[in-house]
Amino acid sequence: MRSVLATKVQHVRQRGCVNVQSYGKHWPCLLPQHGPGKKHERPIVLADWQRGIVEGQPGAFLRGLFHSDGSRFANPVTVRGKRYVYPRYMFTNESADIMDLCQWALDLLGIAWKMNRRNSLSVARREAVATLDRHVGPKS
15-37: pLDDT as tens digits: 888 887 777 777 666 665 666 66
Vertex 11, ends 10 and 13: CA angle to 5°? 145
Q: Are residues 18 and 75 in the same domain?
A: no
- Residue 61: give the domain boundaries: 37-136
Q: Are residues 3 and 72 in the same domain?
A: no
Distances (CA, A) of 19 to 15, 45, 88: 10, 27, 30
Q: Are residues 24 and 64 in the same domain?
A: no
Q: What is the pLDDT of residue 62?
A: 97
Q: What is the pLDDT of residue 16?
A: 83
Distance from C-alpha of 23 to C-alpha of 5, rounded to nearest angstrom = 9
Tell the burial category of 18 from Cβ atoms under 10 Å away from its Cβ (0-12, 13-18, 19+).
Answer: exposed
Identify residue 117 by its one-letter amino acid code: R
Q: Are residues 123 and 96 in the same domain?
A: yes
Q: What is the pLDDT of residue 47?
A: 87
Looking at the predicted structure, is the pLDDT value of residue 116 above 80? yes
Q: Are residues 22 and 81 in the same domain?
A: no
| Segment 128-132 long-range contacts (CB within 8 Å, at least 24 positions apart) | 129/72, 129/86, 129/87, 129/88, 129/89, 132/62, 132/66, 132/89, 132/106
Q: Are residues 88 and 115 in the same domain?
A: yes
Q: Are residues 15 and 77 in the same domain?
A: no
* Number of domain units in the chain: 2
Query: Which residues partner with 73 through β-bridges?
Result: 88
Q: Are residues 25 and 58 in the same domain?
A: no
Q: Are 105 and 111 in contact (CB under 8 A)?
A: no
Q: Are residues 15 and 71 in the same domain?
A: no
Q: What is the pLDDT of residue 100?
A: 96
Q: Are residues 5 and 46 in the same domain?
A: no
Q: What is the pLDDT of residue 34?
A: 64
pLDDT in tens, 38-76: 666 677 888 899 999 999 999 999 999 999 999 999 999
Q: Are residues 42 and 100 in the same domain?
A: yes
Q: Are residues 20 and 89 in the same domain?
A: no
Distance from C-alpha of 77 to C-alpha of 1, rounded to nearest angstrom = 45
Q: What is the pLDDT of residue 32?
A: 57
Q: What is the pLDDT of residue 25?
A: 72
CATH number where 96 lies: 3.10.28.10
